[in-house]
Amino acid sequence: MLELKKNTPRWVIVVFDLLIHLFALFFAYLIRFDLKADFSLIQTEWAILSKSIWYFIAIKLLVFAAFQIHQGIVRHTSTADFKRIFMAEICTSLLFILGSMVRFYQLDGLYLFPNSVLIMEFIFSTAFVIAGRFVVKLLYLEYTRDKGQEEAILIFGAGISGQLTKRLIEKDTANLQHVIGFIDDDAALQGKRIEGAKVYPLLALEKLQKKYQVSTLIIAVQNLERQKINTLAELALDLGMQIKRVPEARAWVNGAFEMRNLKKIDINSLLGRAVITLNNPQLEAHFTGKTVLVTGAAGSIGSGLATALLQHGVGQLILLDQAETALFELEQHFKQQTSTTFIEYAIGDICDQQRMRKLFEQYTPQIIFHAAAYKHVPLMETNPAEAIRNNIGGTQIMAQLAAEFGAGQFIMISTDKAVNPTNVMGASKRIAEMLVTTLNETQRTAYITTRFGNVLGSNGSVIPLFEKQIASGGPVTLTDERITRFFMTIPEACQLVLEAAVMGNGGEIFVFDMGSPIKILDLAKKMIQLSGLRPYADIDIKVTGLRPGEKLYEEVLATSENTIPTHHPQILIAKTRTTSPDQKKLINDLLAKASHQDNESSVGLMKQIVPEYISNNSLFQKLDK
């Protein structure tokens, strides 16, 4: 087997091809005489052929050298090589005809070879040379393939991508995978064979898995709908199969991809609803040439917004964050991009009024996206004064500076935890919403709020936590088996924010129709299965109990709120009650108490400002009336 893996000397291949051509010529003569030539006939023909045979050999060698037929490695012969062989054989036949004409008219009046022999020699030589390489390639693949237990593979999609995937798997000699067939929804293809593999309907998936112990389903359809991916993933995971996907065609190199490019379906693909997509042509006009400030720019939403804004041609982009390392990493990322936009990376705390004023004086932003906030519920439950100082006080500083320096828009990023809050973090965001809505009534700046649920893959969210726990062998921990959450992806969240900036006139709270909430227990199970493991068997799942302030179920809209539809069916406007003068005074008192780290009194004031704030599993339940 080791000898087969070495390159055969070129002279051996040349001699081999020459012998094939001589045999083809001999075979052509046999066919010409119906395999019945007697000795005298053979002598006559040989007398003519003996003067031509050296010309035959020389032409074959020269033409094959000119076409570089012997420069490639036989075991890796491709369709391009077959094409070159075919063209070389045509050229040799044409040269034989030309030589025959010269001999007949200029020398002894005889042809080099009979025309019928030339035709048959062309056919036999082409067929034998190509077949010889094909046989060598098959033998090499067979003898060099590892002989371990082969893994059964199914490919969804019998089109070009599916066929390329099958060839790639079979070409990899170190690969212990075997494609047993295609799955395809096209009834016209079902039951037929493509690339030697049978095409089955999706209904046959379970039967095939049991019969062949299929380990992996590879999705090889480009631009497949999310709902279809979700259905396939559910079926595959329930059958204990891994599910992978062929990369997008634009990621292929020279019309192909490598096995390492096959990627696992990530949890983002399994939201259970269609992706929310926005295509507002006004976005470009709204942001082109503008000076835009993004606070919390190094966070998941902030960096996503920065990326989206660069695509819409902003003139200046000011990225503000107090996390030095994260902002440095964002700077390095954008340095690798090609953009004409001026980008400033500013280190600073939104609660530092003097620093923020200096920033506004220097750049005078026209649009502010306020994404900076403390967001971790348990930490804010034990540090309420800091939640108030940052989420409320910092928002107030930024919102007032926006009005003072004549910004056109201030877009605040809020959360579904602000709806009927059960924790300090949610209540602080609700009060921040009230602040900016109130400012909208008295200032020329348009103050807009966007509110959405949990963001898949964001910093500190449940997805990265589960990934780390699975990678370390478990257990995966969740606080309650009943807990559910609304989810969206980072691109979806950023689209909402940008759309809100275009749609908003000021004073609105924009929310998504996010479909049905996802059960966190189901999310954990899917992530374990996507890793090729079994829940409870390979990776345990443990329930740790609700954390302080945590809800079982979250809402996007409070029951006392109404919604107004917009031009997009999945975007609504929440109408909230106005903030009373008493609440405005209480907010100022709240900020004063928080500055003295008076936690209990501060939370008590929050409950007065937000009457629907009822603590859950928290030390502050004693403050509820």
User: Hey, what domains does the chain have and what are their CATH numbers?
Assistant: 3-144 (no CATH), 151-265 (3.40.50.720), 284-455+490-513+558-620 (3.40.50.720)
Average per-residue pLDDT for the chain: 82
- Count of residues making up the chain: 625
- CA distances to 130, 405, 495 from 199, in Å: 28, 66, 40
pTM of the predicted model as reported, rounded to 2 decimal places: 0.68
Q: Which of 13-17, 285-289, 477-481 has the lowest mean pLDDT?
A: 13-17
**Alpha carbon of 295 to those of 74, 376, 552: distances in Å?**
60, 18, 30
For residues 460 and 375, the answer to whether their CB atoms sit within 8 Å is yes
Which H/E stretch holds residue 384? helix 384-387
Please indicate whether residue 48 or residue 534 has the higher confidence score (pLDDT). 534
Contact at 8 Å (CB) between 623 and 549? no
Asked if residue 563 has pLDDT above 70, the reply is: yes
Per-residue pLDDT band at 605 (split at 50, 70, 90)? very high
Pairing of strands 197-200, 177-183: parallel
Average pLDDT over residues 517-544: 87
Mean pLDDT calculated for residue range 249-259:
60
Q: Which phi and psi (to 5°) does residue 346 adopt? A: -110, 125
Q: Given this model, what pLDDT does residue 560 score?
A: 46
Q: What does R_g of the chain's alpha carbons equal in angstroms? A: 36
Place 368 in a pLDDT band, splitting at 50, 70 and 90: very high
Task: Single out the residue of 274, 278, 273, 251 nearest to residue 262, CA to CA.
Answer: 251
Q: Report d(CA 603, CA 616) in Å as an integer.
A: 13
Task: Report the C-alpha gap between 125 and 17 in whole angstroms.
Answer: 9
Task: Tell me which H or E stretch contains 612.
Answer: none
How confident is the model at residue 42, as a pLDDT? 59
Residue 448 CA from chain centroid, whole number: 31
Examine the pLDDT at 3 and tell me if it is beyond 80. no
Least confident of 125-134, 199-208, 284-293, 382-391: 125-134
Query: Regarding predicted confidence, which is higher, 242 or 570?
Result: 242
Token pair 């094959």 in the structure block, residue = 64
Where do the H-state alpha helices sit in 52-194?
A: 53-66, 79-106, 115-144, 160-171
**Between 48 and 17, residue with greater pLDDT:** 17
Placement of tokens 């909230």 in the chain: 576
Is the CB of residue 181 less than 8 Å from the CB of residue 209? no
Please report the DSSP string for 380-425 in residue order.
HHH-HHHHIIIIIIIHHHHHHHHHHTT-SEEEEEEEGGGSS--SHH
pLDDT of residue 579: 77
Confidence of residue 8 (pLDDT cuts 50, 70, 90): low
> What CA–CA distance (Å, rounded) separates 375 from 387?
8
| DSSP string for residues in 191-252 | T-EETTEEEE-GGGHHHHHHHH---EEEE--TT--HHHHHHHHHHHHHTT-EEEEPPPGGG-
Q: What is the pLDDT of residues 279-333, one digit of tens each?
A: 677 888 899 999 999 999 999 899 999 999 998 889 999 999 999 999 999 999 9
Please check the confidence at residue 253 and state whether its pLDDT lies above 70: no
| DSSP bridge partners of 413 | 450
Cβ contact 176:252 at 8 Å: no
pLDDT at 4: 45
Q: Give the amino acid at 427.
A: A
- With contact defined as beta carbons under 8 Å apart, do 170 and 197 qualify? no
Between 40 and 502, residue with greater pLDDT: 502
What average pLDDT score do residues 448-477 get? 83
| 1: pLDDT strictly greater than 50 | no
The confidence score (pLDDT) of residue 326 equals: 93
Catalytic residues: 417
Token pair in block for residue 572: 């609504």
Instruction: Give the pair of three-digit tokens for residue 77.
Output: 């012969």
CB contact at 8 A, 392 and 591: yes
Q: Does the pLDDT of residue 559 top 50, yes or no?
A: no
What is the rounded average pLDDT of the residues 357-369?
Answer: 96
Euclidean distance between CA atoms 122 and 116, whole angstroms = 10
Q: Of 530, 534, 519, whose CA–CA distance to 474 is shortest?
A: 534
pLDDT exceeds cutoff 70 at 226: yes
The Cα–Cα gap between 281 and 224 comes to 25
- Cross-strand partners of 573: 510, 564
pLDDT for 67-85, tens place per residue? 777 666 666 666 777 787 8
Q: Is the pLDDT of residue 48 over 70?
A: no
Query: Distance between CA 155 and CA 179 in Å, rounded?
Result: 7
Pick from 27-36, 198-207, 436-445: least confident: 27-36
Cβ neighbours around 58 below 10 Å, total: 11
Tell me the three state secondary structure of residue 137.
helix
pLDDT tens for 96-155 read 778 778 777 777 666 677 777 778 888 888 888 877 777 777 776 666 555 455 788 898
Cα separation, 252 vs 262, in Å, equals: 11
Amino acid identity at 507: G
The DSSP element (H or E) to which 327 belongs, if any, is helix 324-335
Tokens 């998941």 found at: 300
- 369: Cβ contacts below 8 Å, ≥ 6 apart: 292, 293, 294, 295, 302, 305, 411, 413, 497, 501
User: Model confidence at 522, in pLDDT bands (50, 70, 90)?
Assistant: confident
